[in-house]
Structure 1
Amino acid sequence: MSRHLRLVYASRSTFPPIREGAGIHPEVARILAQSRRNNARQRIYGGLYFADGSFFQCLEGRAAEVQALYERLAGDDRHRDVRLLDRREIDEPSFGEWAMKHVPNAPEVQQLLARHGRSGFDPHSFPPALVDAMVGLLLERSDVAPPGEPVAGLEPTARRMLLARVAVATGLVAAVGAAAANWLR
């Protein structure tokens, strides 16, 4: 079985902030739409969190593709101060159905930061335990699609996986299974 790679990095945005509570930043929405399109073709998966002008991103997939993407991202002028936080081999991607999952500035992130004695989001200073906890939070939280991009735009296999997770989590296996069978036709 071929090994996969997980890269986690932090960076700072170069675009101007928007006012608090205005929703997803338009530039972040563009990044997400582009990432979802391109990553799906390369079978790269991951999660993205953006707050306080900083990105926290986890990329997973075949080692060569993930490394090449990271090198391209390091030269992207929409961010600066790119810092690799974690690099490890994994058996398979954990974000398997998400070409790029986006988690909003959620209360769970603020709680996680508070548990680690932090008041603001500065992933450049995260110790390994907080990096791992943040990746775990990205995996657990619901995805938020950029405006105009439905989450339902997943390929059939990914839709089935997503529906299975929802069904187990809510205890509605039978009801969701029947609805999913009709939806996937």
Structure 2
Amino acid sequence: MLVRMLYASRATAPVDVETLHAILKASRAHNPKAGITGVLCSTDSLYLQVLEGGRAAVNALYLRIARDPRHAEVTLLGYEEIAERRFAGWSMGQVNLARLNPALMLKYSETAMLDPYAVSGRASMALFDELVATASVVGQG
């Protein structure tokens, strides 16, 4: 059974380029074996991620993330059984925040800043869908 999970967490240390590349490299190495796909969006202080795959695999990954010392305030924003994946093309895609239009953020939140703690999980998922549709996700494979 396929599921889709959306979570947010606060970074315990600033997310620099090296940290982000290490996370993406590990995700792209391990996720295909587990049948997990998804997209990661991060700023220097938070993570917002969609994970898709089998229930057991996605749940196990979420538990590892929740125990990871790089994450604090890990918050489940959405979890649903799905018939098909939305992000099948990415073992772990990355949102290119440099290409993010502030008007798009305003469409889903009170400010142009990415803050998944201030909006509904449904709004965050709609934002991800639009990011994919506007080619703001990079790092296929």
TM-score, normalised with respect to structure 2: 0.88
- Count of residues paired in the alignment: 139
Question: For 1:36-185, what aligned pairs fall within 5 Å after superposition?
Answer: 36-115=28-107, 116-140=109-133, 141-145=135-139, 154=141
In structure 1, how many angstroms separate the alpha carbons of the residues matched to 2:121 and 2:15?
A: 28
Aligned-pair CA distance for 1:35:
0.5
Tell me if the contact between 2:66 and 2:74 (Cα under 8 Å) persists in the aligned partners: yes
Aligned-pair CA distance for 1:120:
1.8
Deviation per CA, 1:80-130, whole angstroms, max 9, x where unpaired?
110000000101222112110011114435222222321322112221342
Structure label with greater radius of gyration:
1
Query: 2:13 aligned with 1:15, yes or no?
Result: yes
Q: Larger helix proportion, structure 1 or 2?
A: 1
Tell me if the contact between 1:109 and 1:137 (Cα under 8 Å) persists in the aligned partners: no
Amino acid aligned to 2:11:
S
What are the ranges of 5 or more consecutive residues in structure 1 without an aligned counterpart? 19-24, 146-150, 155-185
Q: How well do the aligned residues superpose, as a CA RMSD in angstroms? A: 1.8
Query: 2:26 aligned with 1:34, yes or no?
Result: yes
Which 4+ residue blocks in structure 1 deviate beyond 4 angstroms?
none
Tell me if the contact between 1:46 and 1:100 (Cα under 8 Å) persists in the aligned partners: yes
In structure 2, how many angstroms separate the alpha carbons of the residues matched to 1:69 and 1:117?
A: 31
Bigger relative contact order, structure 1 or 2 (CA pairs below 8 A, ≥6 apart)? 2
What are the ranges of 5 or more consecutive residues in structure 2 without an aligned counterpart? none
Aligned-pair CA distance for 1:139:
2.7
Amino acid aligned to 1:14:
T
TM-score, normalised with respect to structure 1: 0.68
Aligned-pair CA distance for 1:142:
4.3
